[in-house]
Amino acid sequence: MNAITATEIQMIDAQTVDLSPLQAVIFDWAGTLVDFGSLAPTQIFVEAFATFGIHITLEQARGPMGLSKWDHIHQLLQDPSIAAQWLSTFGKEPSSTDVDAIYARFMPMQIAKVGEFSAPIDGAIQVLQWLRANGLKVGSCSGYPREVLNQLLPQAAKAGIAPDHVIAGDELAAGGRPGPYMALANVLALGIGDVRACVKVDDTVPGIEEGLNAGMWTIGLSLSGNEVGYSKEEYAKASAAEVDARVSAAEAKLKKSGAHYVVRSIADLPPVLSDISGRMRRGEMPSA
């Protein structure tokens, strides 16, 4: 297993570099800061649909990850095989009212379970400390509704993950991903003077698109996130060839979405951020 080592963590802690003119890094939550493999939302989608007699696979559940949870459910119901099951079971095409019903079933299940998946991803605590030591602000946003984040945030904070600002997927009237609104809400709350001096870090395509639509640099995370989808136990048991194949597929998908960089996990961010800051000092901007 290629988890970050104690020596590597010490190296992150020890590094002090010039990250100007960068001002902030804005993180997703599940699969990015906490919950290696982004397991919390995925399994609950499967279980919530099952209460309606509808079978969906983990792979199907992962498909729209990164969207707000209502939008995620709506997107799942557009899947031809899921829509066909709904029609067979209920005698009608799924509607927005049905999305509301599944969402209402999903929410208490997610609230009850999310705390079990609040463990920081290896290196996350150290990278956040490193960012602050080097003068950057730390924002965050999530497809999770505020009710779910209210359960997750205190437990994550106890473990050492506490961004300067947090936006939930249901808090903005303008909507969520792939729109730029949550990322830009962080810019306003953190007092950032230039969106081009921000980096959005995410493990999903909608999250990368969010950052691009906001005019930010973007970094995709492959191994730790939704696209690979290993639990830590599965990752420990997987062969190197299997891991490489799944990571390569995730990298290709994230790069196709427009990510400026793709790395395996948050532990790999310091050299990438140093590279971005160097490019900015040479006059490069994310839109280029």
Q: Catalytic residues, which ones? A: 28, 69
Sign for the pseudo-dihedral over CA of 196, 201, 207, 208: positive
Q: What are 263's strand-pairing partners?
A: 221
**SS3 for 266?**
helix
Q: What does the buried/exposed string (b/e) look like for 126-157 if buried means 16 or more CB atoms within 10 Å of the residue's CB?
A: bbbebbeebebbbbbbbbbbeebbebbbebbe
**181, 211 contact by CB (below 8 A):** no
Using the 8-state DSSP alphabet, how is residue 30 labeled?
A: B
CA 41, CA 167: separation in Å to the nearest integer? 17
Which H helix or E strand runs over 202? strand 198-202
Cβ-Cβ contacts under 8 Å for 93 (sequence gap 6 or more):
83, 86, 87
